[in-house]
Chain A
Amino acid sequence: MNEPVKIVVVYQSLLGIYGDQGNGTVLTKRLTWRGIDARLITVEPGQPVPDDGAVYLLGGGEDLAQVTAVRELKADGGLFRALDKGAVLFAVCAGYQICGTSFTVGDHDEVMEGLGLLDVTTRRAPQRAVGEILTRWTRPDGSESLITGFENHGGHTRLGPDARPFAQVELGVGNCGDGTEGAVQGKVIGSYPHGPNLPRNPELADHLLELALDTQLGPLPHDRLNAELDELRRQRINVVRHSKNLAEDTRWLGERQ
């Protein structure tokens, strides 16, 4: 019997203020429902980060929490060992920022060193980006998938030569208003639409699992949920494309033409 596949939510109490643990729930259930033994693990600061996980998740948080998370992750070392062994890291929002080489915190924009897992730098943006976002993600087979989410960040992120954009922005802000969203470097993926964005983007959820397990998963054998997800995505994509104000107008008011 194989060991269960570990999905690791890292520092939920520090980096999880936007329901980010939901990403862990989604990944774990999507394996379980396919008959693959999976376990959701939440590690908090002070606990060792296991280095035998398949997918690691970082979420959103406030400035002080970012600084604490970087310090604790560097001191612990488990996440770095896991990535060396081929694990996948999916980091959103503040979690994305700390994966870079540097980011700023506080009222005086103090520059902090990041985890250095992505060749990106983040600096304070002139204006906070808040609202629904829609991006285009090119999947490994070359096909395109829409990513729908909600972004809320005060940073502008710029990519260095070793990172490539994760997706292209159709509506919203993304990295810094240059049309790119997120960054990919090896098996580390960073993205602004915050947690939980995997419920709204099942193809991305399955991609992370396939990347970690080096296998093709096939469709989820859960017709009812698949239909609900299709409807949710239809609604969200429709709302974002018809919204006059992405931050304020996020409701579903029936079909809008």
Chain B
Amino acid sequence: MDAMASQPTAQLHHGRPIDPALPRRLWRDAAIGAGNLVAWASRRAGRGSGASIRGQVITRLYPMMFAELVAGRRIAAVSGTNGKTTTTHLLTAAAEAAWGGRQVVTNADGANLREGIASALSQNVKAPVAVLEADEQIVPDLIAKGRPEVLIMLNFSRDQLDRHHEIASLGRKWRTALTAAGEKAPTVVANVHDPLVTWSAEAAGRVIWVDMGLGGWTADAALCPNCGTILAYDADGSWNCPGCELGQHPADYTVRGDEVSGPEGAHWTFDLQVPGRFNRGNATCALAAAIEMGIDPQTALRAMSTVKAPAGRFSIGAFGDNRARLLLAKNPAGWAESLLVMDSDPVVLAIDSAIADGTDVSWLWDVEFEKLAGKHVICTGPRAQDLAVRLSYAEVDHEVIGSINEAMARPYEGTVDVLATYTAFLNLCKMGGVEW
């Protein structure tokens, strides 16, 4: 039977069959139109970019939105507990430099669940390349539906335990998804120092191992994810399992300071605007992914050096006469790294415990605030008093100014560094006129 005969006559137009996918696509476009309208209204009402509400509306009206929009593109996905947003911005810059801005779509705002990704993709449906930040929970679904070409796995650490995510079970889901994808699994760019990342990544056919120069955060990796044996760590942060075959892989890419070495003796030097050694590690993963996707390394490096303030992170806000550099950290591992880039004295630390921050602030005692000794700390935000007690026990000089407004109205010399939990960070961006 020929194809024509299978079409209902109602779909015939000028004697030719309408593309059978067309009605669905019309329905999809209508959903996107409705989402854009709601987003526009949300922006006019001063409620942010509207990306989040757009994502909810279009996914509600057209439930296949995520699955359809991630299919049929070249996708580079970025996931892990810390560093997703910055790494995504760095890799996007490289991709745009290589192929042009209209050819690349990304969820630059950090909205990294299905709705947020669908929202971003809906704004450039035809872009052949997508660089996507993905929440750890949706990575298995993204692997199954989007078949990414590259997946960057940065790290797994505890985050908002009041929501009781067990990180071990997340790693297991990633591993299962990679195994299920078989030959269609992405090339994984993986952090050699993270045992759970290593164990998950090994299920992929091709893995590019990256020494991100961190080596440090072992507090969440006591037991072997494969066999449960207590892992052995060397003084340099390298690890292995005494009970099974799992162990640290030799790195294909290694970063130390701004110097990166790659496969076959390759060597590059970073000239980045984003601060901190963790961002050198993130940039190394982005570079490895870019090269894997066929982007010229020099093009990638030049483009990454233009990235300044991914989704507001490290941006300079204006607070009356004050200028403040705004830093975000969401969990103990993030705080440990962020404290290292605090330059000013005093520094402002803003602690909140809204749902998006984690409502339990016991993590304050996992952060080595002792490192701030010698500086004066302004404690602010709804949980400033919890921080004040922590700093007293750390013997770090401090004062409490509970209201963030008042804390930022203090006279500061030069640019003051402000490190904040998620909700406090968003408030600070708003107050300081930082948009993205």
Contact = CB atoms under 8 A, between A and B. Distances in A.
A84 interface: no
Given A19-B364, A152-B360, A194-B362, A251 B164 contact: no
Residue of A22, A200, A248, A250 with highest tally of chain B CB at under 10 A: A250
Contacts of B389: 199-200, 225, 228-229, 232
Nearest to A24: B365
A21 B222 contact: no
A89 B38 CA distance: 58
B164 A128 contact: yes
Contacts of A62: 166, 168
A252 B383 contact: yes
Given A228-B392, A252-B402, A253-B382, A18 B360 contact: yes
Contact of B362 (A45, A195, A222, A252): A195
Residue of A131, A154, A228, A253 with highest tally of chain B CB at under 10 A: A228
Given A25-B393, A64-B168, A65-B223, A19 B363 contact: yes
B343 interface: no
A228 to B, nearest CB: 5
Interface string B337-368: 00000000000000011110001111111100
A216 to B, nearest CB: 22
Nearest to B388: A228
A115 interface: no
Given A22-B365, A152-B161, A225-B392, A231 B385 contact: yes
B359 A248 contact: yes
Interface in A166-215: 194-196, 199-200
Contact of B161 (A18, A72, A253): A18
Contacts of B400: 228
A220 to B, nearest CB: 11
Contacts of B56: none
B385 A252 contact: yes
A199 B393 contact: yes
Contacts of A222: 392
A13 interface: yes
A199 B359 contact: no
Interface residues of B, number: 38
Contacts of B164: 128, 130, 152, 154
A123 interface: no
Interface in A40-74: 45-46, 62, 64-65, 68, 72
B250 interface: no
B18 interface: no
Nearest to B167: A62
A29 interface: yes
A254 B405 CA distance: 14
A87 B366 CA distance: 26
Given A64-B228, A232-B389, A196 B365 contact: yes
Contacts of B158: 17
Nearest to B395: A29
A14 interface: yes
A108 interface: no
A14 B222 contact: yes
B386 interface: yes
Contact of B392 (A20, A224, A235, A254): A224
B73 interface: no
A228 B386 CA distance: 9
A68 B223 contact: yes
Contacts of A10: none
Contact of B360 (A21, A150, A224): A150
Interface string B133-177: 000000000000000000000000010011010101000000000
Residue of B218, B362, B384, B389 with highest tally of chain A CB at under 10 A: B362
Interface in B163-212: 164, 166, 168
A82 interface: no
Contact of A247 (B162, B364, B383, B386): B162
25 contacts: A12-B219, A13-B219, A13-B222, A16-B366, A18-B161, A18-B360, A22-B362, A22-B393, A29-B393, A68-B230, A150-B162, A150-B362, A195-B362, A195-B365, A196-B362, A199-B389, A199-B390, A199-B393, A228-B389, A232-B385, A249-B359, A251-B383, A252-B383, A253-B382, A254-B402
5 cross-chain pairs, A with B, having the tightest CB-CB distances, nearest first: A22-B365, A19-B365, A13-B222, A251-B382, A19-B362
Interface of A: 12-14, 16-22, 25-26, 29, 45-46, 62, 64-65, 68, 72, 128, 130-131, 150, 152, 154, 194-196, 199-200, 222, 224-225, 228-229, 231-232, 235, 247-254
Given A229-B389, A251-B353, A253-B382, 4 more contacts: A152-B360, A225-B392, A232-B389, A252-B402
